[in-house]
Structure 1
Amino acid sequence: MGRKFFGTDGIRGRTNDSVMTAATAMRVGQAAGNYFVRGGHRHRVVIGKDTRLSGYMMESALVAGFTSVGMDVIMTGPLPTPAIALLTREMRADLGVMISASHNLFPDNGIKLFGPDGFKLSDEAESEIEALLDSEPKLASAENIGRARRIEDARGRYIHAIKNSVASDIRFDGLKVVVDCAHGAAYEVAPSAIWELGADVVTLGVDPNGTNINDGVGSTAIEALQAKVVEERADIGLALDGDADRLIVVDENGRKVDGDQIMALIATRMHERDLLKGGGVVATVMSNLGLERYLDTLGLSLERTKVGDRYVLERMRAGGFNVGGEQSGHMILLDHATTGDGSVAALRILSSLVRSTRPASEMLHVFEPVPQLLKNVRYDAGQPLEDHAVQRVIAEVEGELAGKGRLVIRPSGTEPVIRVMAEGDDAGQVERVVDRVCNAVREAA
C-alpha cells in the first residue's frame, strides 16, 4: 500500500491543507493509540511540540484522539524533539509524539512518533498505523477514556539529562557563546544548559511568537548568527533548528561549520579515547567525500545510507555504531540520545573547545572538503525523474564523473523538490554537471 500520510520523517505538510489538519491529527491519535494499546497496564503517551501557532490546535486534536481510545496523555509544552524521546523512555510511556515541522517555516507542521524505547518508529510500524487510519477506531468505553495532564518540570529534566553528557570536570568558564534557537523548541533549554555550565551566553532566536520559527534565524539561516558572533567577538556560535534535533556551528570568524566537520571532530576525539564503536561513522549519501577520505586515514569507515536521520539511526543500531549524522546538522550520539540532538552535540563541541588550546576556526576544520554543489528544482506535478530525457542526462553525467566524483539525485520527502548534488575534485566540472541535470529536470517538469 502506498503511504499517503507518512514521509521520511513522520507526517508533515502545510497546516489546514492536505494531510496536516486537526481531523488528521485526531485520527493519528486514535490509530497510533489503537496500535499501542496492548496488555492490561494503563497506557500513556507523551506529547511535546515546538513553538508554531498551529501547535495548540494539533496538540488538542491529538489529545482528543488518544484519550478517546483509552490512552492517558502527558503534555510537556514546547520542548526539543530529543527531549520527547527521552521523556517517553524515562516515564515508561507506550508512545511519544512530537508536533513539529523541524526546519520548515511556521505555516507547516508535522507529527513524529517514538516508540517506548525512545526511538523513532520503523517504516513497518508507521505503515501499520497508516493502515489503521482508513478504518474505524476502536473507541474506549466511557469509564476507560484517557485522562490528560500537563507536567511542569519537563524542561528541567531535559536540561539535567543533556548536562550529564559532559564530563563532570568540564566547565565552560571563559567561553563566550552565541546560541541561536530559531525561535523554536529549545529557546529556553539550550541557553540555560550552556549558561549553567559556566559560559557567557548571548542569545538569538529566543522570542517565539507563533509565526517566527526558523524565520531568518536557526540552522537553515545562519547569517544573523555569523554577524552576531563577529560583532560580539564570541568564541563560537551554535545554531539549532525549530525542533533542535540538528546543529550548525559558526567559528569565531563567522565561518560556517557543517555536520560533516562536526561528525569528524566528535569521531576523532572518541577514537582517540577508544570510545568510538562500530569502527567508523554512519552518514548519508550527501556527506562530503572529504569526510570519507579523512576517516580512512584514521582506519575508520564511513557507512552511507539514504537521506534521513532515521535511516542513519537504523544502520547505527544494526552495526553497533555510536556516532552518526547528516551534513545538514543532525547529530546522533547513541551514548547519550536515541535520536538527533543538537544540544547534546553542541555541548560536546564546547567541551572539545575547552580542552583544546586552539580557536574554533582551527579545531573545527578537521578535513578538507572536496567541491560539492547542491541545487533544488521545484516542480508542480508529475514524476520528472522518470522522464527519458532526464534519465539520459543523468546517465551521461554519471559517466563523466566516474572515478572523479559522485552524483546524488533524490526527491525531497517533505516538499515537491528534486535535490541535485554533485561533488568531485574539479569544482568547474561539478558546477557544470549539476546545472545540466537541473536544466533537464526543469524542462521535464
Structure 2
Amino acid sequence: MSPSSTPVRASRPTGEGRVERATRLTAGAIVAIAVGGAVAAASIGLGAGMVAIARKIVTPARKRSDDVTIHGAELDGSTGVVTLRSTPDTRLVGDYSFWFDRGRGHARLGAIVSDDGRRITRVVTDVTGGDLATARSGRVGGWLYTSPADAGFETVDVIVTTPLGGAPAWLVPAEGGLEGPWMIGVHGRGVTRAETIRSLPVFHRASYTSLLVSYRNDGEAPRSVDGRYGLGDTEWEDVEGALAYAVDHGATSIVLMGWSMGGATVLQVVTRARLREFVAGVVLESPVVDWRTTLRFQGAEMRVPGVVQELVMRLLQSPRLSRVSGRATPIDFDRLDFARRADALDVPILLLHSDDDGFVPSTASHALAEARPDLVTFEVFDTARHTKLWNYDPERFDRVIADWLARLRPATVRRGRSGRP
C-alpha cells in the first residue's frame, strides 16, 4: 500500500491531520523511507512532536525550574556563603539573584570564594525571602532587584493603556521632572519588568525619565485571548501604548531598551508603531534579532533534528496550521528577521551582546551590525552569558550606554502628524 492510500488518515483528529499533511508535503524524503502503517505511525509521531515543540516556543512558562543543586549554606542572619553546583552561570563573576524553593525564596550572591570545577562557593550578601539553609536547589537570575525601590529609586506605579487593557508599569522620574527625554524598558521572554531595573542608574544619571513596562502574557499585564507569545510580533502593540503614555506625560524624545525577546519587540515598535517618530534610538541587550537563528540554535542544543526545526517554524508561520500551537494568528518570521531587514531601520542602535550567550546566539547581532554600520554601535562581550552583561561588568555596561547617549541626537518630531501636542 502506498503512503497516499493509507486509510488511517481519515480517522485522525483535524489538527493532527493538518500537521501530518504539512509534514508530508515539506518532508517527502522522510516519508518516502517507510511504507504502509509505518508511514502513519511516523507521521503521527513527527506531527505530535512538532506540535509539542511549537507549543513550548509560544507558551509562557508560569514556573521556572530550579536547575542548580545547593550543596549547603552557612549563614549568619541574611549573609554568609552558599555552595552550589559549578555551572557556566554560577561561575560568572559579579552580583546575581538566586531564586530557590521554586521561586518562593530569594537571595543575592556576590563574590566567588572557591571553585573546584564541581562545586562553587559564593558570598551571600542578602536573603530577602525563604530559608536558604534548608533549600536543595535553585536558579541564578541576572536581575538583582525585585523593584526600583530595592535599587534606591523613587518610583510611581502607573498603568499603561494597551489594546488588551491596563498594564502595570514603574515610572522613575528624572530629577528635573517628566518633561524631557524618556527611556522605556522592555523585558524578555519568561521574566517580568524587574529584569530592566539594572538599566535605571545610567539613564537616571543622564537625566532620563524611565518607564519600565509589562506586556501581554507576562503574568502582570492582561492576557491575550490565546494566552500565547507572539515573539514580538504582537507584544509591540503594548509597547506602543507605553510610547503614547510617555508622549502624553512629557516625553520629548524616547530611547527604547529591549532585553532578549524585548529586543525583538522594540525592533517591531520602531518599524510599525504610529508614534515611532518620537524614538531617538534603541538599546538592545542580548537581543533576538532573528528568531530563526535563535530557534535553530536552541533546537540544536536540545538535539532536535534540523528538518523538524524547520517544520516547526513553518507550522508557526502557517495561517492554517499555527492554531495547533494554541496561537490565534501565525507568526511572521520574515518580519522578525532584522539581519535581513536591516534596511528597514532608521534610528541609531546600541547593540550589547556576549558571544558566549548560550541562549540567544550573537550571530544575528553581528549580521545586523555588519549590515548597518551607519546606525549600529556594537559592544561585544565574551564572558557575560545571556542578559547578564550588567552583572558581569556594570562599569563597562554603564559607560558604554552613557557614551552612546551623550552622542545621541533627540528625535526630530513632526508635530501634528501623530496628533500629539
TM-score by length of 2: 0.27
Instruction: From the CA coordinates, give the structure whose radius of gyration is larger.
Output: 2
TM-score (norm 1): 0.26
